[in-house]
Copies of this chain bind each other. A is one copy, B any other.
Amino acid sequence: MDAAANGAESLVHTLLDGGVDVCFTNPGTSEMHFVAALDRIEGMRCVLGLFEGVVTGAADGYYRMSGKPACTLLHLGPGLANGLANLHNARKAGSGIVNVVGDHATAHVALDAPLTSDIEGVARPMSHWVHTSRSADDIATDGARAVLEANAPPGRIATLILPADTAWNPVGRAPEAGSAARMAAQIAEARRRAPAEPEAVRAAAQALRGDGPTLLLLGGVALQPHALELAGRIAAKTGCTVMSEFYTARLARGAGRVAAPRLPYVIDAALKALAPFRRIVLVGTVRPVGFFAYPGKPGLLAPPGAELVTLASVDQDLEGALAALADACGATSTPPAGIPARAAAPGAALSGPLSPEGIAAVVAARLPEQAIVIDEAVTTGRGFGPATAGAAPHDWLTGMGGAIGFGLPVAVGAAIAAPDRKVLALEGDGSAMYTLQALWTIAREGLDVTTVIFANRSYKILHGELAGVGAGTPGPRATDMLTLDRPALDWVALARGMGVEAVRVDELGAFDKALRDALGRKGPALIEVVL
């Protein structure tokens, strides 16, 4: 570590030593010394968001695609609060993030100035680790601890609160030699994933040898290509079915990869999908539960009496666990089952009405190699899975915590983590509104993100949910609370207002053309699909 003049510089050096070199930020007065330190020290890429939900969601997307934590820079309790919903999503996705939250100077907190709040209290529900630095000299140690916490598998939320005086005070303690190398070793140790227990491997192998249908249900990094391939070998050998949990932090899909279809969201469909199975082997996921509770329906989705066996939990070495399981099943050399072939490219331009099926066919046909799909299309996108199974190989990212507004921010972070890959963000109009400020960051950074807004001008999912929970059909007041059509949002204007070029389409052929245009060039674009 280089010598640091003050606490803020000490933290920047520590973060860089710890491999944290991207900072998603929305700073205020209490963070000014940190901002100034970023000026003086080379190596940190700073990305401004105009709302904190963009900042935290971007850090989630960055982790999902890079596998390493970014830091955020947030302004006291309210700034952190604005980022909490996407921290919730990141937490459920197992994304590691180092939040740096400025606070008033230590002596100022007691004065109860307007921005004073219980920052640790705000942080705790969505953080695995929360700490307030007590002095400039503590910051190097505290920062290193935060980086290690964020790196712990599968990735954790570490929130470090930095009173302004700990940032601006001089550092008295000289940096120790070799701190970067020592930190790299500590991080490697922190990131180590425990192997599956031999007993768990034996139990899973036995379950796969049992009578009747067995499901291999995957989550976390078991949805990466090599792990999927092992699952495909096991399936070919044992006849089991391979699926993924409904929400996936990062699901490798497409032609040539073992398919792990996602569990359905809708409760009846999920129950039906799981009904055949007598045994479920869990790899990097937990027993499937309903997204919500519905009166008279079970919360646990596995059929009564089904045996659940956990091979490995989400923080363990899942590829290693599947390799051990394949070995125990004698499947190590078995050619994998369940690999979709590349779908034939459509001969001509696609056309017709804008049905979900038609949209899915266009997306499947036009998806570029190694695209990153961010799926917050809610109702419109629900059926995209089967149609896109044979598309070019890609990653499929969904909101793990169910908090709406994850999509556009995650697209920001994914695009920064993987600048050579096209990002396709599929958004409902209702969900895109929560964090639409992300479009400005996409424009500013020139990110290679194509955003598609499915404008059904409704919280359409809630029409179904109203019936699903037995609350009847909506009357005028309920309808008003579930519709966005008075006035209609003009997404072309909203996108242009933030510097993103946009077009509107209301027919499948026009969508096909607009999507090809957008995917065929580098840089931001938005397509409003009026349904």
Contacts and interface: CB of A to CB of B under 8 A. Distances in A.
Given A35-B466, A433-B51, A477-B38, A487 B289 contact: no
Given A111-B299, A115-B403, A462 B28 contact: yes
Interface stretch (A317-325, A328-336, A348-356, A488-496): A488-496
A444 interface: yes
Interface stretch (A79-87, A176-184, A185-193, A220-228): A79-87
Contacts of A164: 292-293, 469
Interface stretch (A116-124, A134-142, A144-152): A116-124
A63 interface: no
> Which residue among A50, A82, A476 has the maximum number of chain B CB atoms within 10 Å of its CB?
A82
A378 to B, nearest CB: 11
B489 A440 contact: yes
Contacts of A32: 462, 465-466, 469, 471
A434 interface: yes
A119 to B, nearest CB: 8
Interface stretch (A100-108, A274-282, A383-391, A507-515): A100-108
A133 interface: no
Given A50-B430, A114-B401, A108 B444 contact: no
A92 interface: yes
A418 B234 CA distance: 68
A84 B122 CA distance: 9
A300 B470 CA distance: 57
Given A111-B300, A115-B403, A293-B104, A475 B51 contact: no
A122 B77 CA distance: 12
A113 interface: yes
A317 to B, nearest CB: 23
A125 B118 contact: yes
Contact of A292 (B25, B30, B465): B30
A268 interface: no
A46 B480 contact: yes
A493 to B, nearest CB: 4
B466 A36 contact: yes
Given A82-B85, A125-B122, A481-B48, A168 B462 contact: no
A7 to B, nearest CB: 12
A415 interface: no
A78 B84 contact: yes
A443 interface: yes
Contact of A114 (B48, B402, B437): B402
Nearest to A467: B32
Nearest to A429: B50
Given A36-B472, A107-B293, A295-B168, A77 B478 contact: no
A376 interface: no
Contact of A39 (B36, B405, B477): B477
Interface string A277-314: 00000000010011111010001100000000000000
A305 to B, nearest CB: 18
Contact of A403 (B46, B78, B477): B78
A165 interface: yes
Nearest to A399: B114
A27 B124 contact: no
Given A32-B465, A430-B50, A40 B498 contact: no
Contact of A46 (B117, B481, B484, B488): B481
A497 interface: yes
B498 A36 contact: no
Nearest to A83: B81
Contact of A478 (B38, B126, B468, B477): B38
A247 interface: yes
Interface in A443-479: 443-444, 461-462, 465-466, 468-472, 474-478
Interface of A: 25, 27-30, 32-33, 35-36, 38-40, 44, 46, 48, 50-51, 53, 77-79, 81-82, 84-85, 88-89, 92, 104-105, 107-108, 111-115, 117-118, 121-122, 124-126, 164-165, 168, 247, 286, 289-293, 295, 299-300, 400-405, 430, 433-434, 436-437, 440, 443-444, 461-462, 465-466, 468-472, 474-478, 480-482, 484, 486-494, 496-499
Given A50-B433, A113-B292, 19 more contacts: A25-B481, A27-B462, A32-B466, A53-B82, A81-B126, A81-B403, A84-B84, A104-B292, A111-B300, A113-B402, A118-B124, A121-B124, A121-B125, A164-B469, A433-B437, A487-B498, A487-B499, A489-B498, A493-B493
21 contacts: A27-B462, A27-B481, A32-B471, A36-B466, A44-B477, A46-B480, A78-B402, A81-B88, A81-B403, A84-B122, A92-B114, A108-B290, A112-B286, A114-B291, A118-B124, A122-B125, A440-B487, A487-B499, A490-B497, A492-B497, A493-B493
